[in-house]
A and B are shown apart, each in its own frame.
Chain A
Amino acid sequence: MDKNITRPGSIAEIIDLVHSESSLLPIGGGTKPSLTQTDQETTLVDMRGISGIIEYQASEYTITVNAGTTLSDVVAALGENGQYLPFTPPFANKGATIGGAVAAGLSGPGAYRYGPLKDFIIGVRFIDGLGNYVKGGGKVVKNAAGFDFPKLFNGSIGRLGIMAELSFKVFPEPKTYVTLSASFDSSNDAIKILPKLLGFDLEGVELSSSNELHLRLGYQEPTMAARKAGLEAIVGQPLEITLGVHESKRWSSINDFSWKGEGAQLFKVATNPSSANQLLEIVRQSDWNWHLSNGGKSLYLASSDAPLCKTLDTQLKKLHLSGLQLFGQTEALPIFGQTTGLSFVNRIQKALDPKGLFLPFTATAAEPA
């Protein structure tokens, strides 16, 4: 690969790139390769030169960081104060950056408890397609002033502007965790349990393709037995306890997608328990690997079969679902399935990037400027 890649070290250098280049795509750790696949015309902007924590006061429950900061650095800084990014973004062990997590709109199992990344991003500073350095949102947990650019940039896959600075709401993290697991005969049986887990403060609800359901709880010694009994009543079978290093390894393995297999394509589909079950009906007839995350809100599919994307695209359209490709050779736009919402996004993109410097939200390649 002989790609144009440049690593600016300041906002001014990014603005220079906006003025001098004809096509730009920001990239972080490159841990979601389908999102940064480009042709030779596009210059990749390696954001890791814009890194570091700008402002972090634990008692405010907020943190402001440069977009190129690695997730592992953010997680470590928060961890020193017993706090965390409650949406537990994936690939933290693989060099992913916070900007990349936002651009992908990707959350991990933790999203089950308090919501996905989009519920925690409170501020953004970005360079638009005209080279303006623009601020949206703020640095406080509650703010209703102006258009909500922070939300817009969640899932923007580098196509609305170059994020430089990001602010998040953060929360105290449970000091230790415990995982309770059960095996089911079929994914169908396991999925039926998901809507019944009402009122339990779970830190993660994940279902693997071997039909193992993992429930994660913040560990609190005096209440453990009662909570376990409550959950067993719902799950309908005894739950196996995992603690300590084994426990944390299980969840970091989920968050690194180690189940996916080397070289496989990886897709995320936004679902709910019912639509995930419908899609799994189809998946079961193939040799695709899968993992149902966040209590049924995100279905991940992996396969080494080249035509997976096309097949999936057809199926998702039928079920009115949309998907995002994270690994593997992709079309011009890594979003597929139902994409009705993109007409609105395209109108916003024209405002933020009238010259078409960033890649379009259409399946076909951009027309030359």
Chain B
Amino acid sequence: MELLPELAKLYPSDRLFTKKSQLITYETDGLTSFRSEPLAVVVPESNEEVIATVRLCHKAGIPFVARGSGTSLSGGSMPVEGGIVITLNRLNKILKIDPENRFTVVQAGTVNLKVSQAVAAHGLYYAPDPSSQQICTIGGNLAFNSGGAHCLKYGMTANHVLAIKAVLADGEVIEIGSESGDTLGPDASGFFCGNEGLFGVALEVTLRLTPKPQRYCTLLAAYNSLKKAGDAVSSVVDSGLLPGAMEIMDRLAIKAAEMAVKAGYPQDAEALLIVELEGETDAVEEDFKHLLALIENTGAYETRVAANEAERLTIWKGRKSAFSAVGRLSPDYLVQDGVVPRSRLGEALVKIETYSKEYGIDVANVFHAGDGNLHPLIMFNGKEEGALHRAEELAGKILKMCVEMGGSITGEHGVGVEKKAYMPEMFSEIDLECMKRVRAAIDPKEIANRGKMFPGGEAPALSTVGSHPLEKAGIISRE
């Protein structure tokens, strides 16, 4: 079967792209170092068109990848060479809001932040907040089990997905999970999350809505060493408080953030710690008193408390823009999202510094300190011969270190193409073989996002093209 003529029957010419000039936009995603050219891009406007496309691909044995806004940092939404890209951006309707029972049903192409905006009037929000939330879509969040700054307390995307309607790679349409969120039988919707597009395409997603906290209490503490900031996090954890977020930025990241958004951070600090408590007004304000007393004993040379929402947002603005800001310090960079046990953060940072010196490559660090999720930002100049290769080698060393410390190669970006070579560091051949059997049971022809997550297979083309255009514009960031 010839696939393109069949797709042409399904889509009008303005929703089926096959010319090189049209395809180039879709060659890459947030991981700009990799790119590959698809055979065609389709722009469905209904579930039926997505389902029909997947069924045609299955029949023809042609690979496909579903794509939202293309913000994946692991190459997850990069096309499979010669395959079909199914863009879901037009399937972006919020189908149902049920404030009484605290759930909403959205199409997969719905932008993350739009969900929270749509339910705000009911005192609810959608908790997972990846840094690209202004543009990334729920379908992509689901496929990669995205995180954000609040995962210790609130969990990742999978904890907030109640039910999924999806088309599997062989064209079967499934409905899994329930509006309740209490599961009976295996948690199929939880398992579907984080499949990295290897099972099929989510069409409609039922999301848990969380009551907006009555009050946020946010502080920023400046330290003259990273170690002190790390120790402060330990003190907070040991005190029995459960902050919604704890973030640390190092000197380079602070400098970059200041250059980009003028957050007013103390510029002489070696490390900044942001701690945020949230919940019931009375209870949180009481807890915050304890937190402030505790931070006073951690050697912070300056502590600022956000007096109002505007000040709170300023503190966060610097943090959330830190990575796109690094673009001002370096023409190119790689960002990793490995995880170490929280209590070994200090040790991990020392090692990263050693690697950085060994390779002569600057590494800035911003991390979710509460859950041990690192974000080393490895800076290089792609125009220099072999620079990308060296940066990748350094990134690989950091990932191996994470696994050796008992952590993970990825906390929230997923494996994609970027980290697939490191899967064997974390999983044995037996583990991977078992995952492959599951994949084969769902996608016998291996057409759904072929070449991702599992080690081996064809390598995509490497390139050095600088930041994503949206990233340069400061719209998305690599958290």
| A contact residues vs B (CB 8 Å cutoff) | 57-62, 82, 105, 107, 111, 114-116, 118-119, 128, 132-136, 138-149, 151-157, 160, 169, 171-172, 175, 195, 198-201, 218, 220, 222-223, 226-227, 230, 268, 270-275, 294, 296-298, 321-324, 335, 339-345, 347-348, 350-352, 354, 361
Contact flag A146-B415 (CB < 8 Å), given A57-B341, A141-B372, A195-B99: yes
- B417 vs chain A, min Cβ distance (A): 14
Contact flag A172-B240 (CB < 8 Å), given A298-B182, A345-B188: yes
B159 contacts which of A115, A199, A324, A350 (Cβ < 8 Å)?
A115
B343 contacts which of A57, A198, A275 (Cβ < 8 Å)?
A57
Contact B184 A155 (CB under 8 A): yes
Contact A142 B372 (CB under 8 A): yes
B421 interfacial by beta-carbon distance below 8 Å: no
Q: Enumerate B70-103 residues with CB–CB distance to A below 8 Å.
A: 98-103
Contact A351 B437 (CB under 8 A): yes
Contact A138 B408 (CB under 8 A): yes
Q: Enumerate B127-169 residues with CB–CB distance to A below 8 Å.
A: 144-147, 151-153, 155-156, 158-159, 168
Given A140-B340, A199-B211, 12 more A-B residue pairs with CB atoms under 8 Å apart are: A57-B343, A115-B155, A142-B373, A143-B410, A144-B146, A144-B413, A147-B195, A152-B187, A152-B188, A154-B190, A198-B124, A345-B188
Contact A146 B435 (CB under 8 A): yes
The interface residues of chain A lying within 8 Å CB-to-CB of B410 are: 143-145
Contact A268 B440 (CB under 8 A): no
Band of interface residues on B? 35 or more
Contact B184 A270 (CB under 8 A): yes
Contact B373 A352 (CB under 8 A): no
B185 interfacial by beta-carbon distance below 8 Å: yes
Q: Which residue of chain A has the shortest Cβ distance to B194 in the bound complex?
A: A148
Contact A135 B437 (CB under 8 A): no
- A240 vs chain B, min Cβ distance (A): 20
B299 interfacial by beta-carbon distance below 8 Å: no
B473 interfacial by beta-carbon distance below 8 Å: no
CA–CA, A156 and B194, complex, Å: 19
Contact flag A128-B434 (CB < 8 Å), given A199-B280, A361-B185: yes
Contact flag A274-B100 (CB < 8 Å), given A136-B431, A153-B186, A154-B186: yes
- B461 vs chain A, min Cβ distance (A): 24
Contact A132 B182 (CB under 8 A): no
Contact B101 A144 (CB under 8 A): no
29 A-B contacts (beta carbon < 8 Å): A59-B238, A105-B183, A133-B430, A134-B431, A136-B431, A138-B408, A140-B339, A140-B340, A140-B341, A140-B371, A140-B407, A141-B372, A142-B368, A142-B372, A145-B409, A147-B195, A148-B194, A152-B191, A154-B187, A156-B185, A169-B155, A195-B102, A199-B123, A199-B212, A230-B280, A271-B180, A294-B182, A344-B188, A348-B441
B10 interfacial by beta-carbon distance below 8 Å: no
CA–CA, A240 and B237, complex, Å: 33
Contact B152 A141 (CB under 8 A): yes
Contact A61 B182 (CB under 8 A): no
- A79 vs chain B, min Cβ distance (A): 13
- A306 vs chain B, min Cβ distance (A): 22
CA–CA, A71 and B103, complex, Å: 31
B423 interfacial by beta-carbon distance below 8 Å: yes
Write the B397-411 contact mask toward A (1 if CB under 8 angstroms, else 0): 000000000111111
Q: Which residue of chain A has the shortest Cβ distance to B412 in the bound complex?
A: A144
Contact A142 B147 (CB under 8 A): yes
Contact A61 B211 (CB under 8 A): no
B178 interfacial by beta-carbon distance below 8 Å: yes
B361 interfacial by beta-carbon distance below 8 Å: no
- B130 vs chain A, min Cβ distance (A): 11
Contact B438 A135 (CB under 8 A): no
Contact B342 A59 (CB under 8 A): yes
CA–CA, A151 and B192, complex, Å: 9
For the complex of A and B, the 6 pairs showing the least CB-CB separation, nearest first, are A151-B190, A272-B101, A351-B441, A270-B180, A223-B282, A270-B182
Tell me which of A57, A61, A118 has the highest count of chain B C-beta atoms within 10 A of its own C-beta. A118
B310 interfacial by beta-carbon distance below 8 Å: no
Q: Which residue of chain A has the shortest Cβ distance to B191 in the bound complex?
A: A152
Q: Which residue of chain B has the shortest Cβ distance to A138 in the bound complex?
A: B408
B428 interfacial by beta-carbon distance below 8 Å: yes
Tell me which of B147, B179, B185, B439 has the highest count of chain A C-beta atoms within 10 A of its own C-beta. B185
CA–CA, A222 and B288, complex, Å: 13
Contact B428 A135 (CB under 8 A): yes
The interface residues of chain B lying within 8 Å CB-to-CB of A351 are: 434, 437-438, 440-441
A340 contacts which of B175, B181, B187, B234 (Cβ < 8 Å)?
B175
B14 interfacial by beta-carbon distance below 8 Å: no
B435 contacts which of A147, A169, A347, A354 (Cβ < 8 Å)?
A147
CA–CA, A301 and B368, complex, Å: 43
A114 contacts which of B153, B193, B286 (Cβ < 8 Å)?
B153
Q: Which residue of chain A has the shortest Cβ distance to B284 in the bound complex?
A: A201
